[in-house]
């Protein structure tokens, strides 16, 4: 009996085939090609901060790298001393307590935890409510777990928040998870306690687990401060809140984050984490303790730097006829395209003609069509140059 030829496509899972191309992988490829072609590129595409870690963090990294014991297998759920430092920081920052032993889990970056959380709670056919536009990992994780994505449109007229009254009209009977992200990527919106109270009420009514992504918790502008979901009464019993060392402390490449919340939910996530990884390098965890101990002034300086860049870019784009709000937090500017181009064509035009890399809004969800996301990951002069390059184009 003759066998048919080996076809790799037949072996790939339907879950993987259901994934669209990952927008940030495409951006990296386009940026690399632009650089190789000799273009002077201003890369405002990804969420990759250019601000370095504080010198004290680097000093701690070097010191701990000399300790031989740190190079053995790490503790699966994270070093007890780091978890205690996180609990102290959380209490000081948000005025609410978390138990370091049962309510904190160290992650290899918050992205890892956000991608694995669907494996914990989603069975085939289950649903998860996901913001649109949003960081793609929320929906990707749901799809890889065999679940269905239930879009929650984020619209300007609703302050870039989901409308729970409209969501109630959907079939939520199989929904298990509710993803949120404030300070928001890409819109820069913040959420207050009143909104989070609505979230908790909606989640209780529909028996949902809340997954709140707080990667940008400390980067806020104009005197604003972000709010933790755990500050809301009754929230902890159904919440996992994901935090990151990447953006605030310039430790993006270190891949280090943590999740806080309900002990039983967190333990379920830990059961996946211990299968797929062996914990975080102790050297990084010990340096992270130094990051958490930095004075408020160091974090204030980071925020001021991003705010200065924001002001230059937003003012410049608005002066060119773009429709851009001042983001209240995060490291992105969400800009409505004023020309007859969809977001992919506009992003390609800016790379090809101006050497400016941005993220097409549609890569973050269907509601992102018509927008570009600019990252504040280059200095003020680069922001000024970006505006000048766009100004020089003819539309």
Residue 156 is predicted with a pLDDT of 95
End-to-end CA distance of the chain: 63
**C-alpha span between 361 and 390 (Å, rounded):** 18
Q: Tell me the pLDDT tens digit for each residue of 363-382.
A: 999 999 999 999 999 999 99
**C-alpha span between 145 and 122 (Å, rounded):** 6
Q: What is the mean pLDDT of residues 1-24?
A: 71
The pair phi, psi for residue 380, each rounded to 5°, is -60, -40
Among residues of the chain, what percentage have pLDDT more than 90?
A: 85
The pair phi, psi for residue 133, each rounded to 5°, is -80, 165
Residue 11 is predicted with a pLDDT of 73
Q: Tell me the pLDDT tens digit for each residue of 79-107.
A: 999 999 999 999 999 999 999 999 999 99
Among 30-39, 138-147, 150-159, the least confident range: 30-39
Residue 1 is predicted with a pLDDT of 52
**Is residue 35's pLDDT more than 80?**
no
pLDDT-derived band at 16 (thresholds 50, 70, 90) equals confident
* Average pLDDT value over all residues in the chain: 93
Same topology between domain 8-52+297-392 and domain 55-292 = no
Residue 213 is predicted with a pLDDT of 98
Residue 152 is predicted with a pLDDT of 97
Residue 3 is predicted with a pLDDT of 61
Residue 6 is predicted with a pLDDT of 76
Residue 2 is predicted with a pLDDT of 55
**Is residue 148's pLDDT more than 70?**
yes
More confident call, 395 vs 279: 279
At the topology level, CATH places domain 8-52+297-392 in 3.90.1150
Q: Tell me the pLDDT tens digit for each residue of 255-270.
A: 999 999 999 999 999 9
Break the chain into its structural domains and give their ranges. Answer: 8-52+297-392, 55-292
Residue 23 is predicted with a pLDDT of 66
Q: What is the mean pLDDT of residues 172-183?
A: 96
Residue 169 is predicted with a pLDDT of 80
Residue 18 is predicted with a pLDDT of 74
**Is residue 295's pLDDT more than 90?**
yes
Residue 24 is predicted with a pLDDT of 65
CA torsion, ordered 319, 46, 307, 383, to nearest 10 deg = -40
**C-alpha span between 169 and 262 (Å, rounded):** 29
The pair phi, psi for residue 329, each rounded to 5°, is -165, 175
Among 39-48, 215-224, 262-271, the least confident range: 39-48
Residue 7 is predicted with a pLDDT of 80
> Locate tokens 């400390």: which residue?
218
Q: What is the mean pLDDT of residues 321-333?
A: 97
pLDDT-derived band at 387 (thresholds 50, 70, 90) equals very high
Class of domain 55-292: alpha beta
Q: What is the mean pLDDT of residues 15-23?
A: 71
**C-alpha span between 213 and 184 (Å, rounded):** 9
| Cβ–Cβ under 8 Å, residues 374 and 335 | yes
């Amino acid at each position: 009996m003759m066998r048919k030829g080996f076809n790799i496509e037949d072996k790939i899972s339907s879950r993987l085939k259901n994934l669209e191309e990952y927008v940030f992988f495409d951006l990296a490829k386009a940026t690399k090609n632009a650089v190789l072609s000799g273009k002077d590129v201003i890369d405002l595409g990804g969420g990759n901060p250019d601000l370095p870690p504080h010198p004290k963090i680097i000093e701690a990294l070097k010191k701990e790298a000399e300790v031989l014991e740190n190079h053995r297998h790490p503790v699966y759920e994270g070093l007890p001393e780091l978890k205690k430092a996180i609990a102290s920081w959380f209490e000081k920052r948000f005025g609410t307590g978390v138990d370091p032993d049962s309510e904190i889990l160290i992650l290899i970056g918050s992205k890892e935890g956000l991608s694995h959380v669907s494996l914990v709670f989603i069975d085939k056919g289950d649903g998860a409510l996901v913001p649109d536009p949003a960081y793609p990992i929320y929906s990707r994780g749901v799809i890889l777990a065999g679940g269905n994505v239930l879009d929650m449109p984020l619209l300007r007229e609703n302050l870039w928040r989901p409308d729970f009254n409209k969501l109630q009209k959907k079939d939520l009977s199989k929904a298990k998870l509710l993803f949120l992200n404030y300070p928001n990527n890409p819109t820069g919106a913040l959420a207050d306690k009143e909104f989070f109270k609505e979230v908790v009420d909606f989640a209780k009514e529909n028996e949902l687990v809340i997954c709140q992504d707080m990667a940008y918790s400390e980067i806020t502008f104009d005197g604003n401060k972000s709010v933790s979901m755990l500050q809301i009464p009754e929230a902890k019993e159904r919440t996992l809140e994901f935090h990151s060392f990447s953006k605030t402390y310039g430790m993006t490449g270190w891949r280090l984050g943590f999740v806080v919340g309900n002990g039983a939910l967190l333990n379920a996530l830990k059961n996946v984490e211990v299968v797929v990884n062996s914990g975080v390098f102790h050297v990084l965890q010990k340096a992270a303790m130094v990051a958490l101990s930095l004075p408020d002034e160091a974090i204030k300086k980071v925020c001021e730097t991003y705010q200065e860049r924001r002001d230059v870019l937003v003012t410049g784009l608005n002066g060119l006829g773009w429709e851009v709000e001042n983001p209240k937090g995060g490291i992105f500017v969400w800009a409505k395209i004023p020309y007859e181009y969809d977001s992919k064509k506009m992003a390609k035009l800016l790379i090809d003609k101006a050497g400016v890399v941005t993220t097409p809004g549609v890569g973050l969800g269907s509601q992102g069509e018509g927008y570009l996301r600019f990252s504040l990951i280059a200095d003020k002069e680069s922001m000024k140059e970006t505006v000048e390059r766009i100004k020089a184009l003819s539309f």
